[in-house]
Every structure is written in structure tokens, then in C-alpha cells.
């Protein structure tokens, strides 16, 4: 018999807030974090906008020496993990078996600022004179490793690197590991910090980012005038726990993770499958895994990146998956507010999904103005809806054809 897996803690660093209270308030207000990039001079850049994290204070959890030695992506992740730890009420010294406690944190790219800065330094001064922390600052798994060190967890520690599907893969992999009896407790999610010259330049060069000149018309998922995504940053981490383990320590249970589906298009480096076949299969597999019917899903937090192809083919996949129910179930892309956190998006969107279930509130797709006949789903436009919901699906799809879908259920015994 499969074990039940519950969510007992949430922690985030995000463009729409660094506390759960601020994030939920931003969702209610339909706050859009898109603004001009401040990290570097964009006066000669085609891409002007991003969704930056504001008021980030790593020194609340990390000493100055550590902050200097690790990349911003690691800082985001560690701080989010500490917030999730505090929210969960876990007392580390009371955990019975740290060999059954793990950390699975994705990053699509890893420490891009470290890679950029040390490469520039090496090209000028010689590559044997770059920082001894270059490798540890750059590799994608280090956020997961550093969190495990912080928590003292000796169980499954990993970093799925599946581009924009990574955060959801991390949560899904952790879910299976607990459900199937290998672990009892896992911190899972994603972290990303790619608002750098090389990050913005690279995604602009491949024509993935919006180069629009009006900030309320650049991150517009499912809108006919969409032209690319807006880079976001931050981290979203949830605490997954086996039900009896959570009950034994008297945890407050926030929601239950009940289904996970994962597939690969195996067709193109960047473009989704043109018929949405394997994104649909990921959703169907998650539904089957949850032991429910498609019509049980009340709300989908869509991948919805605001790129022409993604939104079109995600729409097709939803139609293929849900048939007539596709006209009824509500869909929004909160990337319209947060931007796209790449490997961190699945973690943050899982948190948003839990907040939606807890509060009976479906967040909107903001700045939605021009309907697209090829994206004719039941989009929640501009203003959220208060409605009692039981099942939320969260989708993440990544370059390379990686597809991941999870289903979160409102908590009930």
C-alpha cells in the first residue's frame, strides 16, 4: 500500500514577496513584479525588463563569510529552506533518523553569476587565478548540497536539471521517494538566479525573452500579443512528509501531494511537441497516479510562459487531456506576476497552488487583454476568484521536451 505524502512547510524568496503573507497579498492584488533590470546597465540591450527579488536579506540566515563564497542561487535556496523549516515547525534535534531525511532542489542553470564573473576574470588574468569557489559556486547541485549541510540531512540529496521542468521534477521525485518508503521527509523545490548579463543575453539571442517596451505588456501568458517570457528569479521550497511521520510530531498539514506525471517529447531542443501529446500524457499520468478523474481537477496553475509556441501547445494539451471539462476548469499563469524562474518556477508555483487550496482563491493571469483563439481555455483574467477548490494541477515544461505535472489536494483526513 502506497504511503500518503503531505505538505507541512513552505518557504520562498520571490519577485512578489519573500514571506507567505506578502506572496498571498500580491496574488490577491494581482501585483506584477515586472520592472526595468537594475542588476546591470540595459541601456543598449533589447531586453529591458525582468522580475527581480527585492529586499533580500541573506544575512538573516547566513554569515558574511558564507555569503561571499556562494552564488546568489545558493543564497536564495538556503534562505527559502530556512523559511520552510521555520514554517514547518520541525525541530531538527528531535528528528529520529536523519538518514531518512533528504533534500531535492533543482536549478536549471546553477550559479550563472559566478560562472560569468570568473570567466571574465580568467580571460583577463589567467584561468588559474580564478576563485577557488568557482566550481562550487557554479555547479547546479550545490544548492541542494548546502541545504543538506545546513539541515544535517543524510538521506536522498539530488538536483534534477531539466530546465524549466526541474522544480516540479524535484517535487515529484521527492514525492515518489517518500511514498514508496525510501524517505520520510524531504525539502523539495527549486532555485534560480539568472538575471545576469550572460543569462539575459543568451535567452535574448535565442529569441525566448520578450523585448517589448511597455512593462505591462511583456509577461502576458495566453494573450494574443505575447512575444516571449520575462526572466524571474528566486526559490520556492516545500516540506514533503510521510503522513504518519507528520502526525507523530504534531505537524500542521497544509495539503496533500497525490499525483505526479513525467514524460519527454523527445522531438526538439526548444520547441514543444506540436500536438501536445506528451505534455498531455504527463497530465493524464498524474491524474491516474492520484486515482481521480480529469473532471476532479478544479484549477491548473499553467506553465504559461508567454511564448507563442508554449502557450498554444499547452492549450492543445489541456484540451486533449480534459476534453469537455477543459471548458470549465479554471486556468491561470502566475508567471504573469512572477516572471519565469526557470528551474525555480515549479517550487514557487507549488507554493502558490497550496495557498490557493488553503485560502479558496484562484490567482489571475494579469495584464491579459487580447484573447487568442488558439489559447481559448477558461483563463482567469486580471482578477482572482474566491472559490472552494479541492484539486490543483501544477504544470512545468522545459527545453529539451521535459514535461512534469503534479496534483495537490486540499487537506482532509
CA distance 149 to 137: 15
State the maximum Cα–Cα separation within the chain, in Å, rounded to a whole number: 63
Residues recognised as catalytic: 164, 303, 340
Instruction: Tell me how crowded residue 314 is: count the other CB atoms within 10 A of its CB.
Output: 30
- Yes or no: say if 209 and 47 are a contact pair by the CB < 8 Å rule: yes
CA distance 55 to 57: 6
Question: Whose CA is closest to 351, among 5, 18, 3?
Answer: 18
Placement of cell 536539471 in the chain: 161
Burial of 123 by CB count in 10 Å (0-12 exposed, 13-18 middle, 19+ buried)?
exposed
- Alpha carbon distance, N-terminus to C-terminus of the chain: 17
- Yes or no: say if 255 and 395 are a contact pair by the CB < 8 Å rule: no
Q: C-alpha grid cell for residue 288?
A: 491516474
Q: C-alpha grid cell for residue 198?
A: 550572460
Q: Is 381 helix (H, G, I), strand (E, B) or coil?
A: strand
- Yes or no: say if 406 and 259 are a contact pair by the CB < 8 Å rule: yes
DSSP labels, 105-125: EE-SS--HHHHHHHHHHHHHH
**DSSP code for 392:** E
Q: Which helix (H) or strand (E) holds 234?
A: strand 234-242
The torsion angles phi and psi of 395, rounded to 5 degrees, stand at -110, 145
Placement of cell 522580475 in the chain: 51
CA distance 383 to 28: 8
Amino acid at each position: 500500500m502506497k504511503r500518503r505524502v503531505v505538505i507541512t512547510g513552505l518557504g520562498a524568496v520571490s519577485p512578489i514577496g519573500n514571506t507567505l503573507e506578502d506572496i498571498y497579498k500580491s496574488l490577491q492584488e494581482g501585483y506584477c513584479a515586472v520592472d526595468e533590470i537594475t542588476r546591470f546597465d540595459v541601456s543598449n540591450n533589447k531586453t529591458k525588463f525582468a522580475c527581480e527579488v527585492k529586499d533580500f536579506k541573506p544575512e538573516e540566515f547566513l554569515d558574511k563569510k558564507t555569503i561571499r563564497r556562494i552564488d546568489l542561487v545558493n543564497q536564495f535556496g538556503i534562505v527559502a529552506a530556512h523559511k520552510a523549516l521555520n514554517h514547518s515547525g520541525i525541530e531538527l534535534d528531535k528528528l529520529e533518523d536523519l538518514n531518512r531525511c533528504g533534500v531535492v532542489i533543482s536549478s536549471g542553470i546553477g550559479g550563472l553569476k559566478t560562472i560569468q564573473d570568473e570567466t571574465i576574470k580568467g580571460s583577463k588574468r589567467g584561468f588559474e587565478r580564478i576563485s577557488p569557489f568557482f566550481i562550487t559556486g557554479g555547479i547546479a547541485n550545490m544548492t541542494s548540497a548546502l541545504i543538506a549541510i545546513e539541515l544535517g540531512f543524510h538521506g536522498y540529496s539530488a538536483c534534477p536539471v531539466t530546465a524549466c521542468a526541474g522544480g516540479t521534477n524535484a517535487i515529484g521525485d521527492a514525492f515518489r521517494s517518500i511514498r514508496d518508503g525510501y524517505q520520510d521527509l524531504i525539502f523539495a523545490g527549486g532555485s534560480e538566479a539568472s538575471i545576469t548579463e550572460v543569462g539575459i543575453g543568451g535567452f535574448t539571442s535565442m529569441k525566448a525573452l520578450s523585448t517589448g517596451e511597455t512593462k505591462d505588456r511583456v509577461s502576458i501568458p495566453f494573450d494574443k500579443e505575447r512575444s516571449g517570457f520575462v526572466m524571474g528569479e528566486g526559490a520556492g521550497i516545500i516540506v514533503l512528509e510521510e503522513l504518519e511521520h507528520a502526525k507523530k510530531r504534531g505537524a500542521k498539514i497544509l495539503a496533500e501531494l497525490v499525483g505526479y506525471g513525467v514524460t519527454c517529447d523527445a522531438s526538439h531542443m526548444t520547441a514543444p511537441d506540436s500536438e501536445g501529446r506528451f505534455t498531455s500524457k504527463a497530465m493524464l499520468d498524474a491524474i491516474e497516479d492520484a486515482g481521480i478523474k480529469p473532471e476532479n481537477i478544479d484549477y491548473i496553475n499553467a506553465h504559461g510562459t508567454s511564448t507563442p509556441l508554449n502557450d498554444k501547445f499547452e492549450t492543445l494539451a489541456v484540451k486533449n487531456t480534459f476534453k469537455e471539462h477543459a471548458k470549465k476548469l479554471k486556468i491561470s499563469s502566475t508567471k504573469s506576476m512572477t516572471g519565469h524562474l526557470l528551474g525555480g518556477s515549479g517550487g514557487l508555483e507549488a507554493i502558490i497552488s497550496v495557498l490557493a487550496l488553503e485560502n479558496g482563491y484562484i490567482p489571475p493571469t494579469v495584464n491579459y487583454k487580447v484573447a487568442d483563439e488558439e489559447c481559448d481555455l477558461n483563463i482567469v483574467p486580471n482578477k482572482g476568484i474566491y472559490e472552494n477548490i479541492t484539486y490543483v494541477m501544477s504544470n512545468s515544461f522545459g527545453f529539451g521536451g521535459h514535461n512534469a505535472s503534479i496534483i495537490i489536494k486540499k487537506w482532509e483526513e
